[in-house]
Amino acid sequence: MKRVGFQMKVKQEVIPEYTEWHRKVWPEMLDALTRHGWRNYTLFMRPDGLMFGYVEVPETFEKALEGMAGEEINAKWQEMMAPYFEIPEGSTADQNMVEFEEVFHLD
């Protein structure tokens, strides 16, 4: 198991909508995440939209993202979520996650 921290940026003016979508994530999307080993997946957001995510994956974050890239439901979710993020035109949030290096952990 690998612990992963990552960063993204939600546009400040759409934070309430973005937050509401995450209160009702599609069951098919949750199933896909589970199938690809995403565990203890948590998102934290500052009032300005800067977001920190944490997830535990079986091998690497890259492999977990690759698994999700093959899921049709993920493509639909990413397309719907793209306008909420400060990302380059034509890309998706999961293509723009900035992974952090773990430097300390205490159980």
Pick the CATH number of 2-100 from 3.20.20.140, 3.30.70.100, 2.40.30.10, 2.40.180.10: 3.30.70.100
Average pLDDT over the chain reads: 95
Dist. CA 102–CA 61, nearest whole Å: 12
CA dihedral 59, 81, 88, 51 (to 10 degrees): -60
Crossing angle of the two packed helices 61-69 and 27-35, in degrees rounded to 10: 130
Q: What share of the chain has pLDDT > 90, as a percent?
A: 88
- Segment 52-94, tens digit of pLDDT: 999 999 999 999 999 999 999 999 999 999 999 999 888 888 8
Write down the domain spans for the chain.
Answer: 2-100
- Segment 13-33, tens digit of pLDDT: 999 999 999 999 999 999 999
